[in-house]
Amino acid sequence: MNKKLTQHHQTFESLKQTDDEEAEFWYARELQNVLDYSRWEKFKQVIKKAITACKQSEQPTDDHFHQVVKMVRIGSKTLRKTRDYKLSRYACYLIVQNADANKPVIANGQTYFAIQTRRQELKDDTGFQQLPEDQKRLMLRNELATHNKQLAAVARDAGVKSGLDYAIFQNHGYKGLYGGLDNKAIHQHKGLKKSQKILDHMGSTELAANLFRATQTEDKLKRDAIKDKTKANQTHRKVGAKVRQTIKELGGTMPEDLPTPGQGIKQLERQQKKLGNDQ
């Protein structure tokens, strides 16, 4: 990620404010400048699209796009009423997703904001955070299995037709996320047996990173209407690399350096089933 883009992301985080209840928010007019929109009226159209997307997701729009009136100084002694929005992180994400992708900061920032939003959701989910590690692994692995099916369907529409095509497509995603390592190399790195699947031998942090990779690749393939398998492969690798870069920016451990759990998902599922039968 180049210095200019990193600066935009740091600026975005520096604009974050908190209300009396310690809830984070951003002012739309400040976000407007970061996202390289010179005119409020044009940026307001993007906000309207984001609000529509919020409604379609069946989310309460007032919780994410709260209209406010601020007093803004326009001279040494003059104040003027100005309409603005207090935005949630999710609202910021929707705005970036609906903004002009021809702007470099938008094109490069879409995956970043999506990852940050999903990461915050997991962090704020008290129920998820209170689960033991094994339960987190089971939950995320099941969610990833669902999204991998959706990703396969979208990839097929993008030109990834055969089983071999899909294996190559998946390896591009892994190479982006794991600094050049493909499925086989990750398998060897973890010291797994031939019959063991790498996704079944990941901790919750590593599974979450792969979930980000899968969901954001799916979204980008659809958003960019990609219909060429070479471009689909390139997209998957780029998204994987952006997830990796985000982990680096946050001071996290690279996926290939995370510890491999002693038990695989299949073992955990058998234990869960046995516990259920014993009760």
Does 136 lie in the same domain as 85?
A: no
Q: Average of pLDDT values for 189-207?
A: 94
CA distances from 15 to 36, 60, 89, 237, 273 (A): 15, 23, 11, 30, 48
Residue 81 lies in a domain: yes
| Main-chain dihedrals φ then ψ at residue 39, nearest 5 degrees | -115, 130
Span of 78-82, 172-176, 260-264 with lowest mean pLDDT: 78-82
Highest mean pLDDT among 64-68, 100-104, 266-270: 64-68
Does 71 lie in the same domain as 15?
A: yes
- CA-CA distance, 96 to 53, in Å (whole number)? 12
Name beta bridge partners: 79: 73
Contacts of 246 (CB under 8 A, 6+ apart): 112, 115, 116
Mean pLDDT of the chain: 87
Residue 271 lies in a domain: no
In this predicted structure, the answer to whether residue 123 has a pLDDT above a threshold of 90 is no
The per-residue pLDDT for range 215-259, each reduced to its tens digit, is: 989 988 998 899 999 999 999 999 999 899 888 887 899 999 999
- CA-CA distance, 261 to 190, in Å (whole number)? 10
Domain termination site, one of 48, 80, 95:
95
Does 79 lie in the same domain as 186?
A: no
Query: Which pLDDT belongs to residue 150?
Result: 93
Query: Which pLDDT belongs to residue 114?
Result: 67
Query: Which pLDDT belongs to residue 206?
Result: 96
Q: Are 247 and 180 in contact (CB under 8 A)?
A: no
Does 154 lie in the same domain as 78?
A: no
Q: How many structural domains comprise the chain?
A: 2
In this predicted structure, the answer to whether residue 148 has a pLDDT above a threshold of 90 is yes
In this predicted structure, the answer to whether residue 135 has a pLDDT above a threshold of 60 is yes
Residue 107 lies in a domain: no
pTM to 2 decimal places: 0.67
Does 58 lie in the same domain as 166?
A: no
Residue 192 lies in a domain: yes
- CA-CA distance, 44 to 56, in Å (whole number)? 19
Residue 118 lies in a domain: no
- CA-CA distance, 49 to 54, in Å (whole number)? 9
Name beta bridge partners: 119: none
Does 138 lie in the same domain as 79?
A: no
What range defines the domain where residue 165 resides? 125-265
